[in-house]
Chains A and B, each alone.
Chain A
Amino acid sequence: MIGCAGVTVTLGNRVVLSGIDLDVERGQWLSVVGPNGAGKSTLLRFIAGLVTGAGTLHLHGRPAAALPRRRRAQLVALVPQAPVIPAGARVLDYVLLGRTPHIGALGVEGPHDLAAVHDALSHLELLDFADRVVGTLSGGERQRVLIARALAQGSPIVLLDEPTTALDVGHQQQVLELIDRLRHEHHLTVVTTMHDLTLAGQYAERLVLLDGGRIVVDGPASEVLTEANLALYYGARVRIIHDGDRPAVLPLREKRVHD
């Protein structure tokens, strides 16, 4: 579904991604983790076509470089970490923006587009919010609106940049459960960046650990989230607690000798 080969991205004169080889299968949930500045968001932006670099990217078996912008948008949807919400935009009109790649340059939306928006709103239980102004919603509601826009876009690949950062733990779980449900119902391929390693390990089937722009570990959560890896790449002292086959990361405070 997504195939990166030898991807190297340079921003300014800093190499942000270096020699990335990555294949993501259809329907898989891949979570990209790594310390700050490792290149997680840049990898997502590269797949979305927002930054260019050396190496090749295949989407749906076709070279991405050959895809027109509109066609690419029909294949890949991106939910950014800090989206720009237009002043005064209602939920309905904002979600309808997701239909842009399906509407001709000077055309307007048809019944098919409105049906897609209706489905997206109803999947995310947002129908009663259709006339609300996006800027007035709570963090959790706003995140659902963003996901609804990506769902209305109808793209089989959905990229989410830190989808849970601004949410409390309850809403984090709700949003991730929702993404997982939509992934199954719509056969979506999901790639997220995540800061919270425990949540990444709970939901993603596969984790890729980036450090200094390179993939250093790639595999299921139980192989990636080890005490040794987190010490080596994050400089973190943690204990891994296993809940079934899913690891949970418990940060430990340095022991101090009190006098």
Chain B
Amino acid sequence: MTTAASAARSVLGRVTLRPARLRRRWVLAGLLAVVAAVTAGLAIGPVAVSPAELGRDLLGLHTHLSVQQIAIVEQIRLPRVVLGLLVGATLSISGASYQGAFRNPLADPYLLGAAAGAGLGVTIVIAGNADGSPTPVGAPLAAFLGALIAVSLAYGLGSAGGGRASTASLILSGVAVASFLTAVQTYVQQRNQDTIRQVYSWILGRLSSAGWHEVLILLPYAVLSWIVLLGHRRILDVLAVGDDEASTLGINARRSRLIVVVAASLGTAAAVSVSGLIAFVGIIVPHTVRLLAGHSYRVVLPLSLLFGAAFLCLTDLLARTMSSPAEIPIGVVTAFLGAPFFIVVLRSSRRFGMTS
């Protein structure tokens, strides 16, 4: 056998056991991906900036960049890149956490209706706040309420008739809840003609921001949800054996699931409130991480955070350069990549008997 365990057999006859833990090389790979994405996001655009000069500028050294170039990098691209990192990291770790909490490989902020609920919450706030400011400060909380209501509805309807919601019924009821909330959202939008353009451009998903305003709105909620979710990464591995077995292992499954779902919904809601509806990130990133680095949530959650940040940053780069000078909504780009990916996950999860 050439397994790591037997290769590591020591002279004492004991085997060195290597449980699923975050390996340093994967953290390094994740950090490298983030640095590469940030560099590309800052350097590429209508006004090209060389990465070397970029590095000197960010480190506060003397550069050969023009005042105009510095302004573009620091005031336009940098806030947008940072916003992309935060939104991508949050949507990915939330998606991975929903998948663990519901023991369902297809759970995703978008498919569970959380994003639609958050969208309704934000629409109501924007409609009631016609002064035209980019993102009202109350938006994340309204989005959070909307998201929690949506997830509770989806889970409640999906498990109606007793037992835990199966993959199919959870996703179907999530789709139904999302459609219903989107209809309500459209109604509210149409009733408020003065803000309709603002809502419409937001709902398609966009990272264009006015300076650091959106970043500052999102940051506290995002960091709070990351801390709670990362703290539960080992508990999510225990929840994977089902509520009964988790209970005989000393875990209060219902309470742990509730905490995880609330934290993931908070993160999702805050991300949606600044960036609109960006679908499939919560499926693409965690499943790619699983494929590469293993299934344990101790690995999946932190790596989803890093690779999710890099992924959305690069996706945004695509969205704003593909048909430059026009911009494609980033939600359109992620859906374009995500829909085929979703089919692959659906097929493989059926093969592994994860759907029921």
Chain B 1-12 against A: per-residue CB contact (8 Å), 1 yes, 0 no?
101111000000
Are A80 and B19 CB-contacts (below 8 A) given A100-B250, A118-B14, A130-B3? no
Complex interface: chain B residues within 8 A of A105 (CB): 235
Q: Do A128 and B244 touch across chains, with their CB atoms under 8 A apart?
A: no
Interface membership of A89, Cβ < 8 A: yes
Q: Do B249 and A100 touch across chains, with their CB atoms under 8 A apart?
A: yes
Q: Do B241 and A92 touch across chains, with their CB atoms under 8 A apart?
A: no
Complex interface: chain B residues within 8 A of A117 (CB): 17
Complex interface: chain B residues within 8 A of A170 (CB): none
**A73-111 residues at the B interface, CB under 8 angstroms:** 73-74, 76-78, 80, 83-90, 92-93, 96-98, 100-101, 103, 105-109
- Please give the number of chain A residues whose Cβ is less than 8 angstroms from any Cβ of chain B in the complex: 46
Instruction: Please pick, from A69, A83, A97, A130, the residue contacting B237 in the complex, using a CB distance under 8 A.
Output: A97
Complex interface: chain A residues within 8 A of B235 (CB): 105
Q: Do A73 and B20 touch across chains, with their CB atoms under 8 A apart?
A: no
Q: Do B249 and A101 touch across chains, with their CB atoms under 8 A apart?
A: yes
Chain B 342-356 against A: per-residue CB contact (8 Å), 1 yes, 0 no?
000000010011100
B contact face: mostly helix, strand, loop, or mixed: loop
Q: Within the complex, what minimum Cβ distance (angstroms) separates A174 from chain B?
A: 22
Instruction: Please pick, from B17, B20, B231, the residue contacting A106 in the complex, using a CB distance under 8 A.
Output: B231
**B11-38 residues at the A interface, CB under 8 angstroms:** 14-15, 17-21
Instruction: Please pick, from B20, B232, B240, B241, the residue contacting A90 in the complex, using a CB distance under 8 A.
Output: B20
Q: Do B247 and A87 touch across chains, with their CB atoms under 8 A apart?
A: no
Q: Do B248 and A87 touch across chains, with their CB atoms under 8 A apart?
A: no
Interface membership of A72, Cβ < 8 A: yes
Cβ-closest chain A residue relative to B352: A87
Q: Within the complex, what minimum Cβ distance (angstroms) separates A121 from chain B?
A: 8
Cβ-closest chain B residue relative to A104: B234
Q: Within the complex, what minimum Cβ distance (angstroms) separates A70 from chain B?
A: 4
Cβ-closest chain A residue relative to B14: A118
Are A130 and B245 CB-contacts (below 8 A) given A70-B250, A114-B19? no
Interface membership of B290, Cβ < 8 A: yes
Interface membership of A131, Cβ < 8 A: yes
Q: Within the complex, what minimum Cβ distance (angstroms) separates B242 from chain A?
A: 4
Interface membership of A42, Cβ < 8 A: no
Q: Do B237 and A93 touch across chains, with their CB atoms under 8 A apart?
A: yes
Interface membership of B196, Cβ < 8 A: no
Interface membership of A135, Cβ < 8 A: yes
- The answer for the CA separation of A78 and B250 in the assembled complex, in Å, is 11
Instruction: Please pick, from A74, A93, A106, the residue contacting B250 in the complex, using a CB distance under 8 A.
Output: A74
Cβ-closest chain A residue relative to B15: A127
Interface membership of B176, Cβ < 8 A: no
Q: Do A80 and B245 touch across chains, with their CB atoms under 8 A apart?
A: yes
Interface membership of B238, Cβ < 8 A: yes
**B73-113 residues at the A interface, CB under 8 angstroms:** 105
Q: Do A84 and B242 touch across chains, with their CB atoms under 8 A apart?
A: yes
Q: Do B248 and A73 touch across chains, with their CB atoms under 8 A apart?
A: yes
Complex interface: chain B residues within 8 A of A106 (CB): 231-232, 234
Complex interface: chain A residues within 8 A of B290 (CB): 88
Interface membership of A153, Cβ < 8 A: yes
Q: List 23 A-B contacts (CB under 8 A).
A: A45-B244, A48-B248, A69-B250, A69-B251, A71-B250, A74-B250, A80-B245, A83-B241, A84-B245, A85-B241, A86-B240, A89-B240, A90-B20, A92-B5, A92-B19, A97-B237, A97-B241, A107-B234, A108-B234, A108-B298, A109-B19, A118-B15, A128-B5
New A-B pairs, 4, CB < 8 Å, besides A69-B247, A93-B20, A103-B234: A88-B295, A89-B240, A90-B20, A106-B234
